[in-house]
Homo-oligomer: A and B are copies of this chain.
Amino acid sequence: MVFRLTILGSSSALPTANRYPTALLLNANERFFLIDCGEGTQMQLRKYKFNFSKIDHVFISHIHGDHIFGLPGLLSTMQLLGRKKDLHIYGPAELEEYLNLYSGKQDFSEIFKIILHKTGHKRKNLIYSGKNMEVWSIPLKHRVPTTGFLFKEKSVGRNIRKEAIRKYEPGIEQIARIIEGEDIKLEDGSIIANELLTLPPWKRRSYAYISDTKYYPSIAGQILDVDLLFHESTFLSKDEKMAEKTFHSTAKQAAMTAQQANAGKLLLGHFSSRYKSLNPMLNEAKEVFENSHLVEDGDNFEIKRIREGFESGF
């Protein structure tokens, strides 16, 4: 039951040979969620050996080029690879025209269906609910309608201990009640506490993607206690005015949101190409939130599965 985030692109609008425009891939139990799709995403997926056919859900934060220019090439490649399955894209309403133009030109609508789920950006919305995962859109403050995304595993309840079944041989009805948390009464009248019969549930692992946005204090409350937070960090604090003007964040502001959200770990990305060294960015983030990290293309961040009541999954 893997829960692993791969950075496919960590640049902002001006990519370099080593930092591609924004794209990230979340592998949750071999279901793959693509988050934003900057130019070159399909080549990065090849480079890091991901299987295109396992991607059924694409989440687009906003329609700026550095977050979407990889979509036409990715869709075209999926078509050429013979995709038949529907592809679900979650994004702002503005994405529709972009997709229509592309799919109209390529005439591939008969081959596989693209289903656009418009996210809206006024409030936090549950936009996806699958077998093991829920995804919410998180309203951000950028120059165009933009949302972040919160990915959180579903609650799976307590797990019955195999040795308890062997020992007490409960019936099917009793097993159902045990899973719901009840104690059981044996024939001799003694009561066995549920804690002896079950293991605590797996902790619900979570990841939030916050890009692009200016500093916006209400974000933190919507991603409270998130395990892994990717937050845009376009500028250094010394350029805070530029961040304000362009609706981006500084590294320090990203760390403030991580701290207010009580995040487990902060990943900084979406760097402006103006900075020769990014160490000052890491330093200013760490002053506010110690567990801060700068990401590189190709980096993997995994959250281990642990049971409730145990320590962090990193």
Judging by beta carbons under 8 Å apart, are B17 and A47 in contact? yes
Tell me if A301 counts as interface (CB < 8 A to partner B): no
Which residues from chain B contact A16 at a C-beta distance below 8 Å? 43, 46
Judging by beta carbons under 8 Å apart, are A73 and B69 in contact? yes
Copies of the polypeptide in the assembly: 2
Judging by beta carbons under 8 Å apart, are B46 and A17 in contact? yes
A46 and chain B: residue at smallest CB distance: B17
Judging by beta carbons under 8 Å apart, are B46 and A106 in contact? no
Judging by beta carbons under 8 Å apart, are A65 and B69 in contact? no
Report Cα–Cα, A76/B44, bound state, in Å: 20
Proximity bits, A41-71, B CB within 8 Å = 1, else 0: 0111011000000000000000101100110
Judging by beta carbons under 8 Å apart, are A14 and B81 in contact? yes
A11 and chain B: residue at smallest CB distance: B43
Which residues from chain B contact A90 at a C-beta distance below 8 Å? none
Report Cα–Cα, A77/B105, bound state, in Å: 25
Most chain B CB inside 10 Å of its own CB: which residue of A43, A44, A66, A105: A43
For the complex of A and B, the 10 pairs showing the least CB-CB separation, nearest first, are A17-B47, A39-B73, A17-B46, A40-B40, A65-B76, A69-B73, A16-B46, A69-B72, A15-B43, A14-B80
